[in-house]
Chain A
Amino acid sequence: MTIELEEQISTFTDQFKRVREEIGKVIVGAEEIIDGTLISLLAKGHVLLEGIPGIGKTKIVATVADVLHLNFSRIQFTPDLMPGDIVGSNVVHETETGEKVLEFQKGPIHTNILLADEINRATPKTQSALLEAMQERTVTVGTTTHKLDPPFFVLATQNPLEMEGTYPLPEAQLDRFFYKLRIMYPEPEHMHEIMDRTTKREEPVAETVLTREEILTMRDTARDVPIARPVQDYAIRLTLATHPDTPYAHPMINQFVRFGASPRGTQTLVVGGKVNALLNGRLHVSCADIRSMLLPALRHRMMLNFEGEAERIDRDDILRAIMKDTPEPAE
């Protein structure tokens, strides 16, 4: 049994490594983004990518979809996009006998990997069409609920909120994203590499290396990793430290934050920590694993108050302060 487990873990890390290497053929210098995206996929979560236009958000998502042997759909969110355009709708269909019946026409959401490009260009009404699909993995049209095939993985991209013509995502929508990853402008040496790869006749192409079944197996493996109570307690304390006016609240939270992270945030810390532990060859989750998940997992789950917005406080700075001042429990 133990040998099987060790082989299972070995396979997990090996497959992860192969996926990462394959993506690395196309994407340069975005290791953290790639790792975060893969961890979200293995932890049954969704990812929100934020960055200015033109730095490769869509390319990363498309490449991830290429290396995974999964169905892929892309929706370009625009202000006139309607919910029916995403989930699908009942259309009148004429049978061979001439009888007219209503038939459900599936929308692009019925896929495994969904790229919601520039999600904050659509209205909140349309953005909310993703709520049920992201949490319940089902889509309800009329009175009929359609189940989505696992794995269902949403990769959304958005421009920074200050840009014109954008609608900020509702808190309920944001909370459903496992990670919010910020794509930064590439370093100069990475820019050289990008130029070398993309300005020639042939561009590098990523091959498919992971099947749907393998992904589902990796997901189950990640969920099996045990976590000791003190480490779990540490994750809970970190989450509670984001809640203002509570005994665990950090002083910066009391000053700048209106609402803290939800229990989904704690779930993200724990599940993400499990995947990270496996990737580091460990059979237990450590406090370091929890810490490594803190910024992408909780930065979009805190709502700043007026003072925080006025002072232009970076949520990452608050989370770093919490990380620094929250002690690791021993028992």
Chain B
Amino acid sequence: MTGVVTTGPWLGVLRLRGPPAPWNNGFDVSPSNRSSEHSVIRGVLESVDRQVRLNRILDHLSVAVCFVLATLVTVKILGMLVNIWAPSTLIVVATSTALFVAFLTWTQYGARQLGQAAVVADHAGGLHDELKSAYWFMRQDHRTVWTETQVQRAAQTARGLRPKRLVPTIVPQRFWVAMALGGILVLLGFAPSGPPLLAFSKVPIDPSSLTDAQEEQFEEIRNLVEQAQALEEAAAEEDQLSAEARDRLEEAMRALEADQLTMEEFLRELREAQNALEEGNLEMSALQEALEDLAQDLEGSSELADLAEAMKNQNLSAAAEMMRQLAEQLAQMDGQQLAEMAEQLQQAAQGDQASMEELMQALQEAAEAMSEEQLAAAMQAMQDAADAMDAMSQRIDAQEMMNQASQQMQAMQQSMSRQQLAQQMMSQLAMASEQAGESQEGAMALPSDEVQMAAASGDMGDPSQQGGPTGHATSEAIEGAEMRLGAATTLEVQLEMEVVPDDEEGPEELPDPEDIFQEASRQETARVEYRNVRGPPNYAEASALSVERIPWRYRNLVKRYFLAIRPRENQ
């Protein structure tokens, strides 16, 4: 044997390769040599392991750098397009570095994986698991001449290996991507700074540059904003009341769905919620009366006549608008008109109307300002009075909406009450039909003449039963039938009635065969009108009748399920 024997994939043609193997010369397996061989193998594996880790770190680093640079470029571009908050580059870089170091520490921590390094070295060097096997044999206590020789040969192989050549340092191609991203970032840094291209910016407007139409529009917008604010404040108070009713109703609905509430309890909750909604009606009626009194006080002035008329008609929004127009016309009035108006306003403000305290106070201030000819203060007070009227108008509107809701609740209550009553009637009807069936069975057990007697006594001819088709007796009729049911016929009585009296009088004459046939036919006659008897249901009827009732809390879920599985149009 002059060399290493190698074969193909599995035992191809034998061939010789390479120089004579050194192990043919023999090795000393003394402990010192053994430790030397072990250290050689370990040294090579540790070097390979370091190279593997370095390549892994470079790979991770390239990913992290690409990610950070891509983030920065994205943020930079977004910042140029829209107005967004973006962290500074320093913060992004510092945070990413800290996270990357933590990630590296976590991944690189732990014992060295020399077994994995041996696999890498074997693959890279085409060693056919020589180092992997040697490393495993080295760690075993039981050693044989075979394993020792294998380790020697592996050490000899390891001496000829160059770990850095075996596993070279590979710079990932992602670094080229990172460099490109860095270049883009630098170029974006040179871009001129300015407002975002796709964002609205607050640019101060020179009031002198506005046209009259623009000023009017701005004024309208300001008024709308003020009205919206006032509406919001007024609605907040009303909401407390309606929210209470709403919460109560929702809670009752949930309890009803969970079967924790009976129908009667739910109706009671509904009535209480309705009462809560109607609580404001009393205040509203007081307000309407106060408005009528106020309108009567204001009718004396010609300037305030229209205003008074609007207030009398409960049209407070129109009244507020008229009040504002009056405020603007104050400057054009002479002293007499002002005094007259001040007197009327003073007279109106004298009333004790607790329900519109703000309005009365504003009117009082307006009257005082007019009497002192302080037009600006009077105008402001009248504006306040107009705002108070707007707020009152909104309260009235809200109460009207609550009244509508209350009416709907009332309708719902009535509907549910009717439904409940119908259910009660149905259940009573079912019970009555059962009892009627029992009584009919009892009647059938009686002899035929007894049945006829029962019919003659009025059971069959009861007026309440004659009023409708078979099986549709009213509850009164059912109760009556229930009252007329007596004790069942005893067995002894039945046996006595079945005795044939002429049994002992000798043989009976044979009846005519035709009579026998007719008698049998008469006995087989149906006792129930066949036209209204429901026959055995066919499949469609049976499936329709046996429909499983879906609880209403699951109906939406079932509907969504079938919507989800329905065949699509494009399929």
Contact = CB atoms under 8 A, between A and B. Distances in A.
With a 10 A CB-CB cut-off, give which of A36, A227, A331 has the most chain B CB atoms.
A331
A281 B4 CA distance: 6
Nearest to A20: B14
A226 interface: yes
A224 B149 CA distance: 13
A228 B1 contact: no
Contacts of A283: 146, 149-150, 153
Interface residues of A, number: 40
B136 interface: yes
A225 interface: yes
B162 interface: no
Contacts of A10: 1, 24
Interface string A204-232: 00000000000000000000111111110
Interface string B9-40: 11111100000010110110100000000000
Interface in A35-72: 35-36, 39
Contacts of A6: 23-24, 26, 149
Contact of A330 (B5, B113, B137, B147): B113
Main secondary structure of the interface of A (DSSP, over half): helix
Contact of B150 (A35, A36, A39, A284): A284
B116 A5 contact: no
A183 to B, nearest CB: 16
A132 interface: no
A283 B27 CA distance: 15
Contacts of B113: 330-331
Contacts of B128: 280, 282, 286, 288-289
B144 interface: yes
Contacts of B10: 32, 35, 276, 292-293
Contacts of B152: 2
Contacts of B146: 5, 224-226, 283
A286 B11 contact: no
Nearest to A35: B11
Interface in B135-180: 136-137, 144-150, 152-153
A2 B27 CA distance: 7
Contact of B115 (A31, A280, A330): A330
A148 interface: no
A228 B145 contact: no
Nearest to A225: B146
B27 A286 contact: no
A331 B116 CA distance: 7
Given A1-B145, A2-B27, A2-B152, A228 B6 contact: no
B144 A31 contact: no
A157 to B, nearest CB: 21
B119 interface: yes
A238 to B, nearest CB: 15
Contacts of A328: 119
A120 B133 CA distance: 42
Contacts of A229: 136
B112 to A, nearest CB: 12
A154 B115 CA distance: 41
A276 B6 CA distance: 10
Nearest to A224: B146
Interface in A264-301: 276, 279-289, 292-293
Given A35-B10, A279-B5, A226 B144 contact: yes
Contact size class for B?
35 or more
A228 B7 contact: no
B389 interface: no
A231 B129 contact: yes
B297 interface: no
A330 B134 contact: no
A279 B24 CA distance: 16
A277 to B, nearest CB: 8
A35 B144 CA distance: 28
A10 B149 CA distance: 14
A78 B36 CA distance: 64
Contacts of A228: 129, 132-133, 136-137
A279 B1 CA distance: 12
A328 B118 CA distance: 12
With a 10 A CB-CB cut-off, give which of B7, B11, B147 has the most chain A CB atoms.
B11
Nearest to A284: B133
A17 interface: yes
A230 B136 contact: yes
With a 10 A CB-CB cut-off, give which of B14, B26, B137 has the most chain A CB atoms.
B14
A14 interface: yes
B365 interface: no
A204 to B, nearest CB: 19
A230 B149 CA distance: 19
B130 interface: yes
Contacts of B6: 280-281
B129 A287 contact: yes
A284 B149 CA distance: 10
A282 B130 contact: yes
Interface in B257-286: none
A292 B10 CA distance: 5
A35 B130 CA distance: 23
Nearest to A294: B10
Contacts of B27: 2
With a 10 A CB-CB cut-off, give which of A1, A231, A330 has the most chain B CB atoms.
A330
Contacts of B118: 330
B136 A330 contact: no
Contacts of B5: 13, 17, 279-281
A2 B156 CA distance: 15
Contacts of A226: 133, 137, 144, 146-147, 150
In the A-B complex, the 9 residue pairs with the closest CB atoms? A292-B10, A10-B1, A35-B11, A286-B129, A284-B133, A228-B136, A228-B133, A286-B128, A283-B150
18 contacts: A5-B145, A6-B149, A10-B24, A17-B5, A224-B144, A226-B133, A226-B144, A230-B129, A276-B7, A276-B10, A281-B4, A281-B6, A283-B146, A284-B129, A285-B129, A285-B133, A330-B115, A330-B119
Given A230-B115, A284-B137, 13 more contacts: A2-B152, A5-B145, A13-B5, A39-B11, A280-B5, A283-B150, A284-B130, A287-B129, A292-B9, A328-B119, A330-B118, A330-B132, A331-B113
